[in-house]
């Protein structure tokens, strides 16, 4: 008998496995593909590799001091090769960690067999049943494909194919203006493709602060990305080595668009293979597994974490939920605070946020005061030759509580951690402003925004 079986070895599953082993539990980890899940193999890490490469390339090409910069080009094959090397190194590293902790890893499909059992279908066709005390479902999510679309992997792709390209399309049409759509638009636009985004909703990255959305939209359009909002895709068909898309615009008119490739980025749906919802009587929350605040399902001893339970589909959220489940199993409570989980986008500009947007705070009836600081006024940003961006702090005007922090600009995804930490510690905006920052660094932009919130900003013209 195992103390714990985890189905799915992404950032939720493998963190749960390691933490359990560290506390002396016997662990069975079942993964149908490779260790690391979507994040390591087909998501976060491959995308970050490509974003890094294209931004280094773009910075060099735009440099005002490098001779011959306009002659630079990118070798797609080498980009893909480097990405694969990084992914392999991470997967191999995880395998070594599992072995070192004595975690049994089985490649195959896991199946819940209540009460207190799991079935394991290995890739070589064998099947076994194991007795376990606890089960964690960490099966993740996969690209959601609208019913009118057929993905062939070449003309019509998901990120699985787009992050492992064999060539560069002259024209790329992306269906979906969320996080994935914006990141893929950045990669392909900076590589030289003509990029068009079709977004069904009234704006891109709709859950972000309105000022952030506007700034990102303007930047993308300045760099040649075409954005169609409230655009309803009616039909996608392949004609003579091209993809034709019929799209209904805001005025109800149908436009015909043509591209070399179409990338489907319309969101993700939970992976439920091996989980017989009806047979188990597993309660659901729409398409997702329903859990309580301790990530318990309605089945005794069965937990669920990560993308399969919905909410923000973030690797670090899944990892935090894994820690919370182990805390529950081991007998000490640990609560996850969704309001202090940061979210990041690696687009043409980095976007990072934590907490409430200004609009959400006002809708909740909070007494809102806002502080802002532009990258343009940062000595570090000027020295780095990239002054696009700003920091925005949303705080309670009476208590000083930090309600939300929103950033757009270079290194925003690294800087947001400070805001998340301070919010976790229940610090105030005044505490934020009191911190002494090294100069010249972009970390000063956070301090300056906090000073602006208090009406005592240093680097600002007097009105």
Please write the tens of the pLDDT for every residue from 110-139. 999 978 899 999 988 899 999 999 999 999
Contacts of 364 (CB under 8 A, 6+ apart): 356
pLDDT classification of 274: cutoffs 50, 70, 90: confident
The pLDDT of residue 62: 86
461 has a pLDDT exceeding 80: no
Please write the tens of the pLDDT for every residue from 321-356. 999 999 999 998 888 999 999 999 999 999 999 999
- C-alpha 444/C-alpha 435 separation (Å) is 9
- C-alpha 139/C-alpha 136 separation (Å) is 9
29 has a pLDDT exceeding 90: yes
The pLDDT of residue 68: 81
What residue segments make up the domains of the chain, in order of their start? Answer: 2-143+269-338, 156-266, 349-453
pLDDT classification of 88: cutoffs 50, 70, 90: very high
The pLDDT of residue 353: 99
Mean of all residue pLDDT scores within the chain: 95
Q: Which residues of 329-366 are buried (b: 16+ CB within 10 A; e: fewer)?
A: beeeeeebeeebbbbbbbbbbbbbbbbbbbebbeeeeb
66 has a pLDDT exceeding 90: no
The domain 349-453: what is its CATH number?
3.30.390.30
CATH 1.20.1730.10 at 2-143+269-338, yes or no: no
In this prediction, residues 238-255 reach a mean pLDDT of 93
The domain 156-266: what is its CATH number?
3.50.50.60
Question: What DSSP string describes 387-451?
Answer: --EEEEEEEETTT-BEEEEEEEETTHHHHHHHHHHHHHTT-BHHHHHH----SSSTTHHHHHHHH
Peptide bond into 181 cis (omega under 30): no
462 has a pLDDT exceeding 80: no
The pLDDT of residue 40: 97
- Residue written as token pair 């680097």: 459
The pLDDT of residue 309: 98
Secondary structure letter of residue 272 according to DSSP: -
In this prediction, residues 237-264 reach a mean pLDDT of 94
The pLDDT of residue 463: 64
- C-alpha 422/C-alpha 395 separation (Å) is 13
Question: Using an 8 Å Cβ cutoff, are 326 and 336 in contact?
Answer: no
Gap between the terminal Cα atoms of the chain:
72
Question: Using an 8 Å Cβ cutoff, are 174 and 263 in contact?
Answer: yes
The pLDDT of residue 450: 98
In this prediction, residues 313-321 reach a mean pLDDT of 97
**Which stretch of 35-39, 253-257, 307-311, 331-335 has the lowest confidence by average pLDDT?**
331-335
- C-alpha 312/C-alpha 305 separation (Å) is 12
- C-alpha 175/C-alpha 148 separation (Å) is 12
In this prediction, residues 84-91 reach a mean pLDDT of 98
Give the chain's length: 463
CB atoms within 10 A of CB 383: 9
460 has a pLDDT exceeding 90: no
CA torsion 178-184-188-191 (nearest 10°) is 120
**Which residues belong to the active site?**
439
Question: What DSSP string describes 331-374?
Answer: T------GGG--EEEESSSEEEEEE--HHHHHHTT--EEEEEEE
* Same fold: 2-143+269-338 with 349-453: no
Please write the tens of the pLDDT for every residue from 363-394. 999 999 999 999 999 999 999 999 999 999 99
Please write the tens of the pLDDT for every residue from 148-202. 889 999 999 999 999 999 999 999 999 999 999 999 999 999 999 999 999 999 9
């Amino acid at each position: 008998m195992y103390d714990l079986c985890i189905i799915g070895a992404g950032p939720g599953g493998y963190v749960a496995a390691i933490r359990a082993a560290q506390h002396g539990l016997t662990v069975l980890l079942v993964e149908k593909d490779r260790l690391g899940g979507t994040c390591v193999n087909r998501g976060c890490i491959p995308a970050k590799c490509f974003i890094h490469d294209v931004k280094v390339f773009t910075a060099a090409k735009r440099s005002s001091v490098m001779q011959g910069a306009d002659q630079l080009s990118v070798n797609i094959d080498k980009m893909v090769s480097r990405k694969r090397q990084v992914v392999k190194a991470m997967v191999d590293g995880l395998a070594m960690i599992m072995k070192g902790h004595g975690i049994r890893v089985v490649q195959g499909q896991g199946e819940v067999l209540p009460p207190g059992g799991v079935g394991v279908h290995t890739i070589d066709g064998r099947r076994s049943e194991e007795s376990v005390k606890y089960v964690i479902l960490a099966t993740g999510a996969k690209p959601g494909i609208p019913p009118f679309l057929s993905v062939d992997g070449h003309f019509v792709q998901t990120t699985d194919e787009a992050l492992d390209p064999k060539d560069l399309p002259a024209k790329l049409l992306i269906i979906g203006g969320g996080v994935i759509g914006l990141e893929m638009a950045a990669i392909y636009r900076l590589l030289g493709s003509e990029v068009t985004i079709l977004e069904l909703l009234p704006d891109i990255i709709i859950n972000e602060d309105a000022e952030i959305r506007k700034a990102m939209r303007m930047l993308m359009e300045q760099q040649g990305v075409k954005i169609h909002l409230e655009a309803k895709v009616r039909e996608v068909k392949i004609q003579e080595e091209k993809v034709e898309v019929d799209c209904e615009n805001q005025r109800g008119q149908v436009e015909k668009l043509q591209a070399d490739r179409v990338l489907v980025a319309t969101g993700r749906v939970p992976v439920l293979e091996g989980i017989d919802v009806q047979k188990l009587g597993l309660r659901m929350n729409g398409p997702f597994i329903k859990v309580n605040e301790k990530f318990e399902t309605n089945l005794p001893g069965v937990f669920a974490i990560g993308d399969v339970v919905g909410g923000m589909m973030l690797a670090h959220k899944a990892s935090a939920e894994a820690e919370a489940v182990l805390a529950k199993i081991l007998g000490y409570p640990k609560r996850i605070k969704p309001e202090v989980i940061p979210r990041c986008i690696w687009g043409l500009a980095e976007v990072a946020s934590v907490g409430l947007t200004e609009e959400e705070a006002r809708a909740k009836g909070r007494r809102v005061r806002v502080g802002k600081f532009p990258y343009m006024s940062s000595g570090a940003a000027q020295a780095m030759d990239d002054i696009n961006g700003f920091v925005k702090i949303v705080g309670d005007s009476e208590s000083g509580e930090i309600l939300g922090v929103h950033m757009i600009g270079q290194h925003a995804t690294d800087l947001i951690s400070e805001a998340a930490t301070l919010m976790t510690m229940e610090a105030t905006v005044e505490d934020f402003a009191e911190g002494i920052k090294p100069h010249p660094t972009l970390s000063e932009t956070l301090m300056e925004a906090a000073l602006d919130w208090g009406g005592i900003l240093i680097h600002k013209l007097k009105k």
